[in-house]
C-alpha cells in the first residue's frame, strides 16, 4: 500500500518539476520508466565558484516508504567535493534518515522530513556545491584540499566541469 501511495506522490512531483519553469538548471526524468528511480541533470550556473558551467548527471533512488524515508542521490558524473563520496553518493543532512544522530553532529530538524521534496533536495545539492561542509566529510581528500590547498581544489573541480561538458 505504501508503495502505491509513494508512486502516486512521485508521479505528481515529477510532473510538477517537469512543468515548473521557475526552477532553472534542473531537468528530471525516469530511469527505465521506473517512478522510484529518477535521472537528474543539474546545469550549474556560472556564478558557482568551483562547479559553474558544469552539467552533472545524477540518480535519485526513492524507497517504497517515501516520503517517510529519504531517497539516495548519486552523481553519475564525477564530482570532487567534500560532501560527495568517491562513489558519487551525496552526503547531506536532509538525505539522512529522520532519527536521532548517534554522533550528535546533526539536529533532528536538519535531517529528512516528509515535507522535503525532490525539488528541495536538488536545490540543497546545488547550494552544497557552492558551500561545502568540511566538518563531517564524505570525501576526506576533498575536504583536506578545500581547507589546505584551495588552488588545487579549484583545479580539480574545474577538471570535473570540463569532463562534465565532454571536453576531457
Residues with active-site annotation: 91
Cell numbers at 41, concatenated:
541533470
Tallying the residues shown for the chain, one arrives at 168
Distance CA 102, CA 50 (A): 32
Q: Where are the alpha helices (DSSP H) in 20-164?
A: 118-130, 140-148, 150-164
Distance CA 63, CA 112 (A): 13
Residue 105: which residues within 8 A CB-CB, separation 6 or more? 135, 136
3-state helix, strand, coil in the chain (%, to 5): 35, 20, 45
Amino acid at each position: 500500500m505504501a508503495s502505491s501511495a509513494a508512486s502516486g506522490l512521485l508521479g505528481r512531483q515529477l510532473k510538477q518539476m517537469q512543468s515548473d519553469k521557475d526552477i532553472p538548471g534542473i531537468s528530471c526524468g525516469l530511469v527505465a520508466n521506473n517512478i522510484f528511480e529518477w535521472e537528474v541533470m543539474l546545469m550549474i550556473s556560472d556564478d558557482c565558484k568551483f562547479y559553474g558551467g558544469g552539467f552533472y548527471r545524477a540518480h535519485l533512488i526513492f524507497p517504497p516508504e517515501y516520503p517517510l524515508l529519504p531517497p539516495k542521490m548519486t552523481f553519475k558524473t564525477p564530482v570532487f567535493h567534500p560532501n560527495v563520496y568517491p562513489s558519487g553518493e551525496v552526503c547531506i543532512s536532509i538525505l539522512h534518515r529522520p532519527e536521532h544522530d548517534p554522533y550528535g553532529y546533526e539536529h533532528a530538524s536538519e535531517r529528512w522530513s516528509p515535507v522535503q521534496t525532490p525539488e528541495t533536495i536538488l536545490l540543497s545539492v546545488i547550494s552544497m556545491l557552492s558551500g561545502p561542509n568540511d566538518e563531517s566529510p564524505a570525501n576526506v581528500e576533498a575536504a583536506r584540499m578545500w581547507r589546505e590547498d584551495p588552488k588545487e581544489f579549484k583545479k580539480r573541480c574545474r577538471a570535473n566541469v570540463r569532463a562534465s561538458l565532454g571536453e576531457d
